[in-house]
Amino acid sequence: MDPATAAVLETLRLAQSEYVYRSVEEPIGVDGFVIPAGWLLRICVAESHLLDPHFVDPLRFDPGRHVRSRTARSEFSPFGLDAHSCLGARLTLELGRSLVEAFADYVPTVEASERPSRGNRHWRHWGVGPDFRLLLTPRE
Ligand code: HEM
């Protein structure tokens, strides 16, 4: 895997992962418990991405972990995991890789920044604060 894609995946793991909901049509057995039919099941994708040992030192931003070893889809699924997984996954990764590679030609300096913020509604994501400014200086 190229380093830029690894950086995108690590960003998704720490800051963009979601939860998904599924309607339970048949009872599902999990570790001796039964999730009954008719329940709405919330699958905590973001939390699953912070589990050691799948992700050692899980809060650390470490793109290299995606290069050193591949995680199974059942362990790392920022774009969902079944028939309804994200149709924009390839596009997202390609755009992200291009952006990271373009940034590599510059030295970034954060000039002003509020703390990252996140809304409290469904599907809200972390984002930069309103006064965030990034100065990009071309590398010599
Ligand atoms: C960082 C970017 C993105 C993330 C993290 C993301 C994540 C996801 C996730 C987790 C799902 C599964 C929802 C579920 O199973 O209930 C999903 C579905 C979907 N995504 Fe994305 N997505 C992203 C960008 C995009 C883009 C750019 C497009 C379109 C160009 C897109 C189109 C879709 C569509 C159409 C579905 C529904 C697929 C279906 O229900 O069969 N996504 N996305």
Q: How many domains does the chain have?
A: 2
Q: State which H helix or E strand residue 38 sits in.
A: none
Please tell me the distance between residue 88's alpha carbon and the centre of ligand 1 in angstroms.
Answer: 6
Report the separation in Å between the CA atom of 20 and the middle of ligand 1, taken as the mean of its atom positions. Answer: 11
Question: Atom 18 (ligand 1): residue with closest C-alpha?
Answer: 86
Task: Tell me which residue range forms the domain holding 13.
Answer: 3-104
Higher pLDDT, 1 or 123: 1
User: What's the confidence (pLDDT) of residue 123?
Assistant: 63
Q: Is residue 84 scored above 90 in pLDDT?
A: no
Rounded CA-CA distance 60/2 in Å is 19
Within the chain, how many helices (H) and strands (E) appear?
Answer: 4, 8
- As a whole number of angstroms, the distance between CA 89 and CA 95 comes to 10
Residues 100 and 112 in one domain: no
Mean pLDDT of 79-86: 87
The three-class DSSP label of residue 3 is helix
Pair (86, 126) in one structural domain: no
Average pLDDT over residues 66-83: 89
Residue to mutate (ligand 1; options 79, 90, 94, 95; most atoms within 8 A of CB): 79
Higher pLDDT, 131 or 118: 131
Half-sphere exposure of 74 (CA within 13 A, CB side): 0
Q: For 87-124, what is each residue's pLDDT tens digit? A: 999 999 999 999 999 999 999 998 887 777 777 766 66
Q: Angle at CA 129, nearest 5°, toward 123 and 132?
A: 135
**What pLDDT does residue 100 have?**
96
Is the pLDDT score of 59 beyond 70? yes
Q: Which residues pair with 134 in a beta bridge?
A: 110
Mark whether 82 and 111 lie in a shared domain.
Answer: no
Regarding whether 28 and 94 lie in a shared domain, the answer is: yes
